[in-house]
């Protein structure tokens, strides 16, 4: 998403037939991602013939589309949100993020994020990484807990981004899955892209982006397995999609996994993170224990 059209309210007349609404809009406004436009459709900012429509609606010639672009997020405001800071120096902050905390603001989630909390702790961060996502170099799902590193300045941000792109960052997640995983270790190499049948989901698709996930069994709990999962790439929902595809869905994952009566979130915790210091090039590695709610889940399972 780069810039909004000069007019925040636009009216278009469709000149073709048979194309999906979201596909038509993506071609018309290439500066926006399909996901962003789908969100606008879902929230009623985009109407077809003055009525709310689905992203999958097939358009007909002479259909009238009305678009009301919401204002772009402004510079996030500092909010006093508690942070569990594992490490901090002049270049970086490493935080153990709780489940339920979104990483950065978005048009449909403008505040109460990790970025808002970081700005309260480190006001000088505002110039790094753009207006909406200052200092952010990688992400965790909202309902994934664990370690995330934030850059305090532009040089640190560029260094960390290059490390993630170069696959030199160590990332390890503790993940509870349904089923007794066999063999005890393995590598999943399956391309991931948007599910063509449901654009809100990711799936294994031909022509998708390369995705590599390594895993190793840590312990069996009856018909469940605790895994140490090491993704070598960082695709959206990669761990959840890969494990579900090989028959071991993540416990507590409402989209690709299986429910557990006494777990209100997905059992994924980023417990190890390693990278090279942007200033000294020294290798740094950090760990974060399972949060209490996940420890309690393991205690309730068969041993």
pLDDT at 44 over 90: no
The token duo for 44 is: 């009623």
Name the 3-class secondary structure at 199.
strand
Name the one residue in this structure whose structure tokens are 């190499």: 189
Distances in whole angstroms, Cα of residue 302 to Cα of each of 82, 219, 225, 250: 34, 11, 11, 17
Domains and CATH numbers, the chain: 9-68 (3.10.290.10), 73-166 (3.30.2350.10), 167-303 (3.30.2350.10)
One DSSP character per residue, 224-264 reads EEEEEEEESS--TTHHHHHHHHTT-PBBT-TTTSB-BTTB-
Name the 3-class secondary structure at 274.
strand
d(CA 88, CA 80): 18
The token duo for 111 is: 């505040």
For the chain, the straight-line distance linking the first and the last C-alpha, in angstroms and rounded, comes to 49
pLDDT at 227 over 80: yes
Contacts 24+ apart (CB under 8 A), 155-163: 155/91, 155/278, 156/91, 156/92, 156/128, 156/278, 156/279, 157/128, 157/129, 159/276, 159/278, 160/92, 160/275, 160/278, 161/137, 163/275, 163/276
Query: What is the average pLDDT across 254-269?
Result: 95
Active-site residue (options: 141, 195, 223, 253): 141
Q: What radius of gyration, in Å, describes the C-alpha atoms of the chain?
A: 21
The pLDDT tens digits of the residues spanning 76-91 come to 888 999 999 999 999 9
d(CA 173, CA 160): 19
d(CA 303, CA 299): 8
pLDDT at 13 over 80: yes
What backbone phi and psi angles, to 5 degrees, belong to 8? Answer: -80, -20
The model's pTM is 0.77
One DSSP character per residue, 26-88 reads HHH-TTS-HHHHHHHHHTTSEEETTEE--TTPBP-TT-EEEEEPPPPP-SPPP------EEEE
For position 133, what pLDDT does the model report?
73
Q: Establish whether 22 is a catalytic residue.
A: no
pLDDT at 74 over 70: no
The pLDDT tens digits of the residues spanning 141-167 come to 999 999 999 999 889 999 999 999 999
Name the one residue in this structure whose structure tokens are 């469709």: 14
The token duo for 153 is: 């300045």
């Amino acid at each position: 998403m780069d810039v909004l059209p000069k007019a925040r309210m636009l009216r278009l007349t469709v000149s073709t037939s048979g194309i999906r609404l979201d596909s038509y809009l993506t071609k018309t406004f290439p500066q926006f991602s399909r996901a962003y436009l789908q969100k606008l459709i879902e929230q009623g900012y985009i109407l077809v013939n003055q009525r709310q429509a689905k992203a999958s609606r097939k358009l007909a010639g002479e259909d009238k589309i009305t678009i009301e672009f919401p204002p772009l997020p402004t510079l996030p405001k500092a909010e006093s949100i508690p942070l569990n800071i594992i490490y901090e120096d002049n270049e970086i902050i490493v935080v153990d993020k709780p489940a339920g905390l979104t990483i950065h603001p978005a048009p449909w989630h403008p505040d109460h994020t990790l970025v808002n909390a970081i700005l309260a702790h480190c006001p000088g961060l505002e110039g790094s990484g753009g207006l909406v996502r200052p200092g952010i170099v990688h992400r965790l799902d909202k309902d994934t807990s664990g370690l995330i590193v934030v850059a305090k300045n532009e040089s640190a941000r560029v260094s960390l981004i290059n490390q993630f792109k170069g696959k030199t960052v160590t990332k390890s997640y503790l993940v509870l899955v349904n089923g007794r995983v066999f063999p005890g270790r393995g590598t999943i190499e399956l391309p991931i892209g948007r599910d063509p049948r449901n654009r809100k989901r990711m799936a294994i698709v031909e022509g998708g982006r390369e995705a590599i996930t390594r895993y190793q069994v840590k312990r069996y709990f009856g018909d469940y397995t605790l895994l140490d999962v090491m993704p070598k790439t960082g695709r959206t929902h990669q761990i959840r999609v890969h494990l579900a595809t090989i028959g071991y869905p993540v416990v507590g994952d409402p989209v690709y996994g299986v429910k557990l009566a006494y777990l209100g979130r997905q059992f994924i915790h980023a417990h190890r993170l390693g990278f090279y210091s942007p200033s000294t090039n020294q290798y740094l590695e950090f760990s974060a224990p399972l949060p209490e709610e996940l420890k309690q889940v393991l205690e309730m399972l068969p041993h």
